[in-house]
């Protein structure tokens, strides 16, 4: 006779089965540290933060149960739907704060650019899986075209931060697929020369009457503010000046939890979202920043370990791209808050407040867990 009694151990084993232990522990450690920082930065948002974490972990658990073969089968439809939604945003999207990023579908408003953070690496990994053993130079140009379409549509909204992340996700797939250095170097040289020219000619090209082709006025201001934040200390340069003051005043060990003056005297804008790293470093100092950096390094190492052991080309490319996206999030946000990079609205992964970004990141973690779980099954 089969017992119908509830067995908590069996249910716990069922819930934990799809998860990768080391990866889950690293993410939980980052979220735990983030919660401590959020209590100081914006305690009134703790309830919503808890709900966001529950929803994000549910999405991660579901993604971890989807086998890579199923992910591969939905890659092309997901990409097509994402591009069509981006076209819909360009034609019919709602305008908010000067940007057209949202699409009203009747029951809710959605931001299709977030979908492309997952759809883009899936699509390119699927493409190279289909071309395995037959990859030619032209395949990289075709893949580049597939990448350029959504990136251009997102940049046009304009949403430079998301465009950078989607472009990075696609580039990582191309790189891991074997993109030759002779194709990378020309773009790298052009980029370095362009940056050097902007720095050298900043005083001239940042004049109000000078227009930058292909860029909005506010994007020009962001770059020029990076070069000289003191040129507009109460306007465009206010964010950078206050965040760098907060970071510098933290010293080695910080001012102590809840004792950040820049944070609690309301000098630091967006302290719970894009600029939460400044809160962290002001209150926990260099030690806190290094602790978070170590957690990110462990996350990246674990992701690359999973990618290296993946059984198929699709899984390896997808896992490698997702892992380096975590690095891109962290690098761009920390550089932005520290005054090294322009302000582009990229959150600090698993730390910044925001449900959509957290769900997207946890979906990526769930995909890594699925790839690792599938590898264990193949190996048995």
What pLDDT was estimated at residue 66?
Answer: 93
CA angle 92, 97, 101 (to 5 degrees): 35
- Whole-number pLDDT of residue 257: 87
Q: How many Å apart are CA 26 and CA 101, to the nearest integer? A: 32
Return the pLDDT at 83: 93
Q: For residue 125, which of 86, 73, 164 has the smallest C-alpha distance?
A: 73
Closest among 78, 181, 160 to 126, alpha carbons compared:
78
Residue in the block written with tokens 């994000």: 56
User: What is the mean pLDDT of each successive set of 10 residues along the chain, which is 380 residues long?
Assistant: 65 83 95 92 87 92 93 94 91 74 73 89 95 89 94 87 91 92 85 81 75 72 75 76 88 87 78 88 94 96 94 94 94 90 86 88 95 69
pLDDT of residue 379: 47
* Alpha-helix residue ranges (DSSP H) falling in 156-275: 160-176, 181-200, 202-205, 217-227, 238-250, 261-264
3 state DSSP class of 247: helix
Element (H, E) at 96: strand 94-96
pLDDT of the residue at 380? 45
């Amino acid at each position: 006779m089969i017992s119908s009694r509830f067995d908590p151990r069996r249910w716990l084993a069922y819930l934990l089965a799809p998860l990768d232990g080391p990866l889950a522990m690293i993410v939980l450690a980052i979220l735990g540290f983030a919660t401590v920082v959020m209590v100081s930065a914006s305690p009134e948002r703790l309830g919503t933060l808890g709900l966001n974490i529950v929803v994000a972990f549910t999405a991660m658990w579901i993604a971890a149960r989807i086998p890579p073969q199923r992910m591969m089968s939905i890659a092309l439809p997901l990409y097509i739907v994402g591009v069509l939604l981006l076209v819909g945003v360009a034609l019919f999207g709602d305008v908010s704060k000067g940007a057209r990023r949202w699409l009203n579908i009747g029951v809710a408003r959605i931001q299709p650019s977030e979908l492309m953070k997952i759809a883009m690496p899936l699509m390119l990994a699927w493409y190279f899986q289909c071309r395995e053993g037959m990859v030619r130079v032209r395949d990289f140009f075709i893949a580049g075209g597939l990448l350029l379409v959504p990136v251009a549509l997102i940049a046009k909204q304009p949403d430079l931060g998301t465009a950078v992340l989607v472009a990075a996700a696609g580039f990582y797939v191309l790189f891991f697929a074997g993109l030759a250095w002779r194709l990378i170097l020309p773009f790298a040289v052009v980029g370095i020369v362009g940056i050097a020219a902007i720095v050298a000619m900043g005083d001239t090209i940042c004049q109000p009457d000078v227009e930058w082709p292909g860029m909005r006025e506010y994007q020009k201001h962001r770059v020029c503010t990076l070069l000289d934040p003191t040129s507009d200390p109460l306007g465009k340069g206010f964010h950078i000046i206050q965040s760098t003051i907060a970071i510098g005043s933290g010293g080695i060990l910080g001012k102590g939890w809840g004792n950040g003056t820049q944070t609690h005297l309301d000098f630091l804008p967006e302290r719970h979202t894009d600029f939460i790293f400044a809160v962290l470093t002001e209150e926990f100092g260099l030690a806190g920043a290094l602790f978070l950096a170590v957690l990110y390094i462990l996350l990246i190492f674990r992701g690359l370990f999973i990618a290296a052991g993946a059984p198929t080309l699709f899984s390896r490319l997808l896992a490698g791209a997702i892992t380096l996206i975590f690095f891109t999030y962290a690098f761009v946000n920390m550089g932005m808050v520290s005054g090294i990079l322009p302000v582009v609205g990229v959150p600090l992964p698993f730390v910044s407040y925001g449900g959509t970004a957290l769900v997207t990141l946890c979906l990526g973690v769930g995909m890594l867990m699925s790839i690792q779980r599938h590898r264990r099954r193949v190996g048995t």
